[in-house]
Amino acid sequence: MSRTQQLEIAADLDSLKQARDFVEETTQLAGLDEDRTGELLLAVDEAVTNIVMHGCPQGGCTIELEFEGEPGACIIRIRDNARLFDPTAMLEPDLDIPPMERDAPGGFGVYLFRHLVDQTSYRVTGDGRNELTLLKRMADQHA
């Protein structure tokens, strides 16, 4: 049986800590280890930061976080009513360029959340909101 929990926050930078606390508390209760929790935390922080800074710079938007615990995996869904944007369709930064030669390490938020979780997916919900789903497994597959 899966368990879900939800948190609604304002889409502003003051809410980042609240979003991270929600992920940390729910996933650790579900038994996700510290390293994987840290990775998922970073992924969610980047996704939420992107929504705040790029999706809704004018303010006034709302973000809904949903945790779902499944056997062997933690799922975080992030729904927001900011500008429609599919972060999973973005090009990745070129990591072959030596880091200090890059002008500014922008675009890394998207890279981070794609590479720190096991699955990402995006859809527009029935009521017209962005929904980004991040899945983190409790252990490596075939381990």
Number of residues in contact with other proteins, rule: CB under 8 A?
A: 29
- The single residue among 55, 69, 87, 109 that binds other proteins, judged by CB under 8 A, is 109
Which range binds other proteins by CB under 8 A, 40-48, 59-67, 76-84, 132-140? 40-48
Q: What is the DSSP-derived secondary structure letter of residue 51?
A: I
Tokens for 95? 């990591």
Residue 135 within binding range of other proteins, rule CB under 8 A: no
- The single residue among 4, 6, 8, 13 that binds other proteins, judged by CB under 8 A, is 13
CA dihedral angle for residue 111, residue 113, residue 115, residue 119, rounded to 10 degrees: -130
In whole angstroms, what is the distance from residue 51 CA to residue 35 CA?
Answer: 25
Residue 137 within binding range of other proteins, rule CB under 8 A: no
In whole angstroms, what is the distance from residue 130 CA to residue 132 CA?
Answer: 7
What strands, in cross-sheet order, belong to the sheet with 119-124?
3-10, 62-70, 73-80, 130-137, 119-124
Residue 68 within binding range of other proteins, rule CB under 8 A: no
Residue 115 within binding range of other proteins, rule CB under 8 A: yes
Binding site for other proteins (CB under 8 A): 13-14, 16-17, 20, 35, 38-39, 41-42, 45-46, 49, 52-53, 95, 98-100, 102, 104-106, 108-109, 111-112, 115-116
